[in-house]
């Protein structure tokens, strides 16, 4: 068992880097799905098919997977519950979640102000849209809609951390009911309301907590159904593409289907990476080494970096046809991650204490 725990710990550290790569790919495309269309040329449809499969299907499991692992590790070693345990856990989240959340949002506000002031000096168009976005993010709703958009994950993680006593007693006293609630909350009411009850966070964080509090190995469970999970993840784009138009014809709602598919896919990405790393230990070593930069990439990649790179490509010859767009689709995340890592390395060398605060002591 100790050996399995060690393997599990190494694996869950290593998979964080591939998961953040998927998150960066998600943000290359708009959130609205652009399906293939017979009216479009072959190259445009190839671009749409590949990019939609990665960003809106395979990439869909990245954030749920982070929530799953967060819940799993949040409750690791918790044998009993008390106010002391609760405040101790929340105290750690103050350093690892709340402080970085506030600092990254304030940093983006500062950069927006600098950009706007520079535009005024140069008599260029001022960032009205950006300032309007900031106005909507007043102190009263700062915790509801982060200026640095990807930080909604941290916001939701703080919400479910506050609910940890409820999760603890639900799992400990009614384990089967708790398991059903976590599964059904994602399948029946996915994304119910992102603010009051973030169901994706509640569902996957709760599932991770369920395994931890019942002293069940998450990796052992996934390995028991490895090929089922890998198969479900591999064909996730096809299942989602077929399911969305077919469900209304059959007179059924699609969201329970998509919620279930994504849940299988979430376990599937872990199973797939576990299998890949078994045969590619050097890749696992590399991903483990890169894991210390994962939080920085997550928090910083949309602080102008990815949007600037996307803007540059959109004005280039790459966007003249579908094949060029496909090449750009893979280059944009690559260049974004390289840029983030460059800034990370510079900060780690010259201002490590600042970096440590910004990353919640993860660097």
Residue with token string 């390289």: 338
pLDDT digits (tens, 9 = 90+) for 291-350: 999 999 999 998 878 888 888 888 888 888 889 999 999 999 999 999 999 999 999 999
Phi first, then psi, for residue 285 (nearest 5°) are -60, -40
Strand partners, 33: none
pLDDT of residue 127: 46
Q: Sign (positive/negative) of CA torsion 229, 234, 238, 240?
A: positive
Q: Could you state, in order of their start, the residue ranges of all structural domains in the chain?
A: 2-358
pLDDT of residue 257: 75
Quick one: what percent of the chain has pLDDT higher than 70?
85
Q: Sign (positive/negative) of CA torsion 25, 30, 34, 40?
A: negative
Mean pLDDT of the chain: 86
Burial of residue 84 (CB within 10 Å: 0-12, 13-18, 19+) is: exposed
pLDDT digits (tens, 9 = 90+) for 181-219: 999 888 776 555 444 557 889 999 999 999 999 999 999
pLDDT digits (tens, 9 = 90+) for 104-139: 988 888 887 776 654 444 444 444 454 455 444 444
pLDDT of residue 323: 92
Per-residue pLDDT, averaged over 235-246, amounts to 79
| DSSP secondary structure letters along 45-106 | HHHHHHHHHHHHTGGGGHHHHHHHHHHHHHTTT--S--HHHHHHHHHHHIIIIIHHHHHHHH
Between the alpha carbon of residue 40 and those of residues 44, 49, 282, 320, the distances in Å are: 6, 12, 42, 14
Residue with token string 């590949």: 50
Between the alpha carbon of residue 94 and those of residues 31, 87, 138, 210, the distances in Å are: 31, 10, 21, 23
Residue 147 three-state SS:
coil
């Amino acid at each position: 068992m100790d050996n399995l725990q060690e393997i599990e710990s190494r694996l869950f550290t290593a998979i964080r880097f591939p998961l953040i790569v998927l998150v960066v790919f998600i943000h290359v495309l708009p959130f609205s799905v652009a399906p293939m269309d017979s009216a479009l040329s072959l190259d445009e449809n190839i671009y749409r098919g590949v990019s939609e499969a990665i960003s809106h299907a395979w990439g869909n499991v990245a954030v749920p997977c982070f929530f799953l692992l967060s819940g799993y590790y949040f409750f690791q070693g918790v044998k009993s519950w008390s106010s002391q345990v609760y405040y101790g856990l929340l105290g750690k989240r103050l350093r690892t979640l709340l402080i970085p959340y506030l600092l990254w949002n304030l940093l983006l506000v500062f950069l927006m102000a600098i950009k706007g002031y520079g535009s005024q000096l140069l008599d260029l168009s001022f960032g009205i849209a950006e300032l309007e976005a900031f106005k909507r993010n007043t102190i009263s709703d700062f915790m509801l809609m982060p200026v640095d958009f990807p930080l909604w994950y941290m916001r939701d993680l703080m919400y479910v951390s506050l609910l940890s006593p409820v999760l603890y007693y639900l799992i400990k006293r009614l384990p089967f009911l708790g398991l059903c609630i976590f599964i059904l909350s994602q399948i029946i009411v996915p994304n119910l309301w992102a603010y009051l009850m973030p169901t994706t966070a509640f569902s996957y964080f709760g599932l991770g907590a369920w395994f931890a509090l019942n002293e069940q190995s998450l990796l052992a469970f996934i390995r028991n159904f490895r090929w089922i999970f890998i198969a479900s993840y591999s064909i996730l784009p096809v299942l989602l593409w077929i399911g969305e138009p077919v469900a209304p014809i059959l007179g059924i709602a699609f969201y329970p289907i998509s919620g279930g598919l994504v849940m299988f896919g979430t376990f599937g990405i872990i199973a797939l990476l576990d299998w890949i790393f078994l045969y590619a230990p050097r890749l696992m070593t590399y991903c483990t080494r890169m894991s210390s930069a994962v939080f920085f990439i997550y928090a910083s990649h949309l602080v102008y970096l990815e949007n600037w790179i996307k803007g540059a490509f959109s004005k280039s010859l790459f966007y003249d046809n579908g094949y060029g767009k496909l090449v750009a689709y893979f280059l944009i995340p690559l260049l974004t991650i390289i840029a983030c890592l460059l800034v990370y390395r510079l900060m780690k060398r010259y201002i490590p204490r600042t970096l440590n605060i910004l990353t919640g002591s993860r660097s």
